[in-house]
Structure 1
Amino acid sequence: MSDFDSKARRARLRLTLVGVAAAAVLTAGGVLGVMVLNADDDLKQNPPKAAPSAPPSSGSSKPSVVEEFTPATAPSIPRLKPKSSTEGIGTGFEHSALGATSAAISYWEDLDLLDDVIARKQWTAIAATDSPGTIDKGVTEVRKVREGVGLPPSGATPDGITFSTNVKAALVRSLETSGDVVDVWMVFDRYATIRDKGADDNPLKDEVTNLILKWDGTDWKVTTERRYAARVKYPRTYDPDSKYAWAEGWRAVANG
């Protein structure tokens, strides 16, 4: 999706939501467009590169790994379950690349999108202790969404609205040789269900975001420290049928 298309879509979703909110019935569109932390603002200026339509030239006649797999045909990423739960968000993931990926997916799917009080508790549970700004950034995004749809900046989610986020692909990269700081990119869909109105008929699809996670000795924690954010590299656009997306590191998520 081009930057122009993305902006136009978000504007349309925001206007739809504001219009309905004015009628005292909150719908999903603009709320579901929230992107927290690292990826959103940077992606607007540095969108991921599209996959090339033809493979690069090669002097070898042997089939490469790139030619054999796509995210759709390769084994998917299994999801590890959290060992504990804090403020409605899963915690307690193993010290491994799969543990970090599972943590990022779980966090992104469980974060509250409209209740800033709950959001603060959740971000406090998953943010690195040496990155307190991570908590404030997460809560600020929730409050921006609330204000954008005509709600006071702080308060509970209006009655009758539930959200679901489905991460369907992920890509993980280490930002340190130790493997204790990783950057996890995710492709997700987001839906809402509204009492008396049913399921969202205009969900957000194929949205992209990332979380930087740091091992703190007991669990994977989200960090927004500048020294790590500066090392983030934008991946090739995800396409489940692209061998180039697979070579880039994109993998489908089990049950995603």
Structure 2
Amino acid sequence: MADPYASKARRARLRLAGIGAATVVALVVGGVVALTAFDDHSQPSQSDAKPSRSPSAGPSASSSSGKQFTPATAARIPLLRPAKSANGIGTGFEHSSLGATSAAVSYWEDLDLLDDVIARKQWTAIAAEDYPQTVDEGVSEVRKVREGVGLPPSGGTPDGVTFSTNVKAALTRSLDSSGDVVVVWMVYDRFAAIRGKGADESPLRDEVTYLVLKWQADDWKVTTDPSYAKKLTGPHAYDPDSPYAFMDGWREVADG
């Protein structure tokens, strides 16, 4: 499996050489390395993945009243909250497209990025039971980030380091005729901070990733089963001001 993080981790080491470990962690999580687990299959090209606020007008995406819609002007996705929690992550989403979208956004925003012990517990709670490799793959990505910034492969988050992920837009598509297997594409920002050093000066912005979810055990579960990855095709580039993006299915999320 190709490693989509290697070049970014290498740049991180070169750019941040000589800086204290905790500071490195904060900067890498927020501004250099994107922990976009499982997005190396069928993703858009680099030029297609980055949002743009270009003023150019595309063809009309109109309602019956003739109003042109874009992700920025259309109604936002009213995300559902998890009904319960397990192993430190929200679970319990309804069996619907909105439930799947809400689950993906909630998972992506709440997954731990640096503590591999917590990450394993979280992935165990949200991974599909029929493809347990998903748990190991999720934990492996956390360890790659740790090693990429000179930390031991296993351990907790350095004291004083905090980070947050904010999903701004999502697009959900079914991967089977039943609607019980879906892919949720997401556009997100990621920020980091370290106590005493202020906010992240170079946060990740407008990153694109996806999660494949299937309805299982009365909840939406994440799977990295390659049989589903083969069905993926990348969406058109997300642009908040583009009718093309709206017609493709991109929508902003209510709390993004």
Q: Which TM class, normalised by the smaller chain length?
A: 0.7 to 0.9
Other-structure match for 1:15: 14
- The unaligned stretches of length 5 or more in structure 2 are none
Question: Contact 1:97–1:172 at 8 Å: present in 2 too?
Answer: yes
Larger displacement relative to structure 2 (157-166 or 8-17):
8-17
TM-score of the pair, normalised by structure 2: 0.86
Task: Supply the RMSD in Å over aligned alpha carbons.
Answer: 2.7
- Quote the Cα distance in structure 1 between the aligned partners of 2:18 and 2:87: 32
Residue type matched to 1:84 in 2?
A: K
> The residue matched to 1:212 in structure 2 has which SS?
strand
Given the superposition, is the C-alpha separation of residues 17 and 99 from structure 1 closer, same or farther in structure 2, using an over 3 Å criterion?
Answer: farther
Residue type matched to 2:206 in 1?
A: D
Residue type matched to 1:251 in 2?
A: R
Question: Contact 1:238–1:250 at 8 Å: present in 2 too?
Answer: yes
Other-structure match for 1:236: 236
- Verify: 1:28 aligned to 2:26, yes or no: yes
Query: What's the CA shift string for 1:134-181, capped at 9, x where partnerless?
Result: 111110110011011111000011100011000000000000110000
- Quote the Cα distance in structure 1 between the aligned partners of 2:206 and 2:24: 23
> The residue matched to 2:173 in structure 1 has which SS?
strand
- Quote the Cα distance in structure 2 between the aligned partners of 1:81 and 1:63: 30
Residue type matched to 1:15 in 2?
A: L
Other-structure match for 2:109: 109
Question: Contact 1:167–1:187 at 8 Å: present in 2 too?
Answer: yes
> The residue matched to 1:215 in structure 2 has which SS?
strand
Q: Which of structure 1's runs of 4+ aligned residues deviate more than 2 A?
A: 6-22, 24-38, 40-56, 62-67
- Quote the Cα distance in structure 1 between the aligned partners of 2:110 and 2:49: 29
Other-structure match for 2:182: 182
- The unaligned stretches of length 5 or more in structure 1 are 1-5, 57-61
Residue type matched to 1:103 in 2?
A: A
Q: Write out aligned runs for 1:130-145 (5 A).
A: 130-145=130-145
Q: What is the number of equivalent residue pairs in this alignment?
A: 245
Given the superposition, is the C-alpha separation of residues 148 and 54 from structure 1 closer, same or farther in structure 2, using an over 3 Å criterion?
Answer: same
Query: What's the CA shift string for 1:2-23, capped at 9, x where partnerless?
Result: xxxx99877544534454245x
- Verify: 1:172 aligned to 2:166, yes or no: no
Measured after TM superposition, the shift of residue 39 of structure 1 is: 1.3
- Verify: 1:193 aligned to 2:193, yes or no: yes
Question: Contact 1:181–1:215 at 8 Å: present in 2 too?
Answer: yes
Residue type matched to 2:239 in 1?
A: D
Given the superposition, is the C-alpha separation of residues 10 and 243 from structure 1 closer, same or farther in structure 2, using an over 3 Å criterion?
Answer: farther
Residue type matched to 2:81 in 1?
A: K
Other-structure match for 2:43: 43
Measured after TM superposition, the shift of residue 68 of structure 1 is: 1.4
Query: What's the CA shift string for 1:219-246, capped at 9, x where partnerless?
Result: 0000011111111110111010000000
> The residue matched to 2:80 in structure 1 has which SS?
coil
Question: Contact 2:161–2:194 at 8 Å: present in 1 too?
Answer: yes
Query: What's the CA shift string for 1:79-117, capped at 9, x where partnerless?
Result: 100011122211000000000000000000000000001
Given the superposition, is the C-alpha separation of residues 189 and 35 from structure 1 closer, same or farther in structure 2, using an over 3 Å criterion?
Answer: same
- Quote the Cα distance in structure 2 between the aligned partners of 1:114 and 1:152: 11
Higher relative contact order (CA 8 A, sep 6+): 2
Residue type matched to 1:180 in 2?
A: D
Given the superposition, is the C-alpha separation of residues 35 and 41 from structure 1 closer, same or farther in structure 2, using an over 3 Å criterion?
Answer: farther
Given the superposition, is the C-alpha separation of residues 77 and 18 from structure 1 closer, same or farther in structure 2, using an over 3 Å criterion?
Answer: farther
Given the superposition, is the C-alpha separation of residues 197 and 238 from structure 1 closer, same or farther in structure 2, using an over 3 Å criterion?
Answer: same
Given the superposition, is the C-alpha separation of residues 187 and 149 from structure 1 closer, same or farther in structure 2, using an over 3 Å criterion?
Answer: same
Question: Contact 2:168–2:253 at 8 Å: present in 1 too?
Answer: yes
**Amino-acid identity (%):** 62
Measured after TM superposition, the shift of residue 48 of structure 1 is: 3.6
TM-score of the pair, normalised by structure 1: 0.86
- Quote the Cα distance in structure 1 between the aligned partners of 2:246 and 2:61: 15
Query: What's the CA shift string for 1:42-80, capped at 9, x where partnerless?
Result: 538686478996747xxxxx9844971000000000110
